[in-house]
Structure formats: C-alpha cells, structure tokens
Amino acid sequence: MTHVRKKISVIGAGFVGSTCAHWLAAKELGDVVLLDVNEGAAQGKALDLYEASPVELFDARVTGTKDYKDTAGSDVVIITAGIPRKPGMSRDDLLATNSKIMKEVCEGIKKFAPESIVIVVSNPLDAMAFVAKQVTGFPRERVIGMAGVLDTARFKTFVSEAVNVSVKDIHAIVLGGHGDTMVPMPRHCSVGGVPLQEMLPKEKIDQIVQRTRQGGAEIVNLLKTGSAFYSPSASAVQMAEAILKDQKRILPCAVELQGEYDVKNLFVGVLCKLGGKGMEEVIQLKLNAEEKAGLDNSIKAVEELVSALKKIQY
C-alpha cells in the first residue's frame, strides 16, 4: 500500500501564515506549500523552515511560491492573506481591503484546488468566510472560519491563570461572531470537570469574559505594528489536524448556518464536529435566556458586517 503524504497550502506568508507553516511542518501533518503574492517572501520563509527539518527532525517538504497552480491537490488550504489590524482599528475596519484580497485568493483556490477544505483566518473573520464561500462555491462543509478555537484558547488561558490549574484540564466554549460581541460561555466551562462557577466568583468570571472579548485588541495594542500570530496560527492548525486525521473533534468554528439557531446563510461561531469531510455536524446547545440574548446580539453584528460587505464591489 502506498502512503501519500497529505498536502496543505497556506495562503499569505506574513506572521500568521509563516507560523502556520511552522506548526504544520513540526507536527508532520503533511507537505506544506506557502504562497504569497510578494516576490520571494514565501520562497524565502519556506526554504528557511525546510532547512530546519534536519535539526528538528520533521519529515515535511516545505515549498514557497507565488503561483496558485502549486496548490493543486491540496487537502486543506489555510487562508491568512490580508492586512492586519493596527491599534484603534476594529476587525471590521479591514473589510474593504481584505474582501478584495479574499476574492483573488479564492478564485485561485477554486481553479487549482477545487477539492480542498478551506480554513479562513483573515479578518473580519465572519465576513471573509462568507466571501470565501461565495467565490469558491464550495459546500458549507468545506469552508470553515477559524475564530472560536482562538477565542476559546484565550478564555482557557485566563481561566487557567486565575485558578492556577493546567490548561490541559480546562474545557470551555466561545460562540458567536469573532469580535467584541463574541459569547464566552461560563456555564459550559469546567476545570477538571468541576463547573467554573464553583471555582471562581462571578466578578472574576465576568472580568475573564471581558478580557477574552478584547483578547485580540490587547495584543494589537501591545505590538503597535500588527496583530496576534502564534495563537491564531496554532488554532488554525488544530482545525487542520482534526480534518487531516479525521479526528471528529468538537471545536467551535465559524460555519454557514442553514437553520441552526434559526439563522440562515450567515457564518457564525458554533460548536462543530471536524473530520475528514470538513465540518461534519453542527452541535446545537440549549441556551438559557442570557446566552441566547448574547448570541442574538452577536448574530446581529455579523448581519451588519455582511450587509456592509454587500455594498463593497469586491
């Protein structure tokens, strides 16, 4: 039996894209193609990473390119292309520029990697995933936005710090759009199986929820010249790994809802089962009144974003 390595293409060789390539290669998830329109950017970073393989002892070919034909045969494509945020900008401020970039990227993917499963990382996430699905015409199972994994990772980090317990023993969920209206779910958070509410007072939990919502902005304000990249890239790679290894992981992802939570044709962060076919199932939670109000508010923000998007000639 011949075993063929998986192939993952990463579009955009900025900090998020090149760090994605690094995690993918280090985990030996497959051969990696790094693509960037800027001459030499992807080629240089890919070659540099490939030359680390004898030191770190990973078997993964890493190549750089500016030509979409090199993405042919990709199992998974991770899209990180676009401009990052600067201090004072919201993710929504990136809408006009990044929707044009997303359109070009997705035309390349549609042409050369039509069987791939696409993970969108570019911001504003929910709108960019919407563009990706429109342009590729792929079914919803194969266009998935990365936001919930990252927001949940931030939530878990802050909980872990507050209760002084390993991150490995913290389970949490963040739903909704990827922005200030996201909905961390304290009621569904546990520490070693113990409900979070039994571990921390309400005021502390409220502070953690607020810090989670502002997690990206906190890093943008510290960096001054860009946005987060280690945790977003690790989050995208966790999703890619679940798909490539058919793990059936339950992860919060932005997917196009088709009636779930009474929403249609919008990308919203919900719990999903990720496996070899991509997004294999949406798992609906029974929400209480407060959670439902939070999610409705987040959905409204995504709706506004998409109606702004429709006015842009991308």
**Residue 245 exposure: Cα atoms within 13 Å on the Cβ side:** 13
| Closest by CA position to 251, among listed 230, 265, 234 | 234
| Closest by CA position to 104, among listed 256, 310, 314, 305 | 314
Q: Output the pLDDT for position 256.
A: 98
Q: Give the residue numbers annotated as catalytic, written as ranges.
A: 178
Q: How far apart are CA 20 and CA 26, in angstroms?
A: 10
Q: Output the pLDDT for position 312.
A: 87
Tokens standing for 109?
């993917």
Q: State which H helix or E strand residue 119 sits in.
A: strand 117-120
DSSP structure string for 223-235: HSS----HHHHHH
What top-level class would CATH report for the domain 7-145? Answer: alpha beta
CB crowding 231-264: b at 16 or more within 10 Å, else e: bbbbbbbbbbbbbbeeeebebbbbbbbeeebebe
What top-level class would CATH report for the domain 148-311? Answer: alpha beta
pTM of the predicted model, to two decimals?
Answer: 0.97
Task: Convert the pLDDT of each residue in 202-237 to its tens digit.
Answer: 999 999 999 999 999 999 999 999 899 999 999 999
Q: In the chain, where are the structural domains located?
A: 7-145, 148-311
Average pLDDT, the chain: 96
According to DSSP, residue 14 is labeled: S
Q: Which residues of the chain have pLDDT under 50?
A: none
Q: How far apart are CA 179 and CA 147, in angstroms?
A: 9
Q: Is 88 helix (H, G, I), strand (E, B) or coil?
A: coil
Q: Output the pLDDT for position 211.
A: 98
| Closest by CA position to 120, among listed 210, 270, 246, 11 | 11
Q: Which residues, 6 or more positions from 287, have their beta carbon under 8 angstroms from its beta carbon?
A: 295
